[in-house]
């Protein structure tokens, strides 16, 4: 299962389980939000790691650079944050 598929499973669950949705949103306040988020995901049966979440944004950014005509000589300063995008989608 891809990272996007895992996040989709979590999205469906969060939209049907208010308690889970709140717990996922509450991970923002944790000392290490990504680790807390992934532990919660794993506790509900979705095997997700912090590395997967970071890699999704980085891969998207890399593909954008490669798709630029002649290649993008300067990589982006930042890339999409799958964690924050997910939380925004269930807020």
CA-CA distance, 50 to 64, in Å (whole number)?
22
So what's the pLDDT on residue 56?
79
Residues ≥6 apart with Cβ < 8 Å to 3: 48, 52, 53, 55, 56, 82
So what's the pLDDT on residue 63?
60
Give tens-digit pLDDT for 44-67.
Answer: 999 999 999 888 766 666 666 665
The domain locations on the chain are: 3-90
The closest alpha carbon to 65, from 56, 53, 50, 76, belongs to 76
Give tens-digit pLDDT for 2-36.
Answer: 998 999 999 999 999 999 999 999 999 999 999 99
On the question of pLDDT at 77 being above 60, the answer is no
What's the pTM? 0.77
CB 58 within 8 A of CB 83: no
So what's the pLDDT on residue 83?
85
């Amino acid at each position: 299962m891809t990272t996007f598929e895992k996040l989709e499973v979590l999205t469906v669950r969060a939209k049907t389980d208010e308690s889970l949705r709140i717990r996922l949103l509450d991970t923002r306040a944790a000392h290490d939000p990504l680790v807390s988020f992934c532990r919660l995901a794993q506790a509900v049966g979705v095997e997700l790691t912090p590395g997967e979440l970071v890699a999704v944004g980085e891969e998207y950014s890399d593909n954008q650079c490669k798709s630029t005509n002649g290649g993008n000589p300067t990589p982006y300063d930042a890339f999409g944050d799958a964690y924050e995008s997910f939380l925004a989608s269930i807020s």
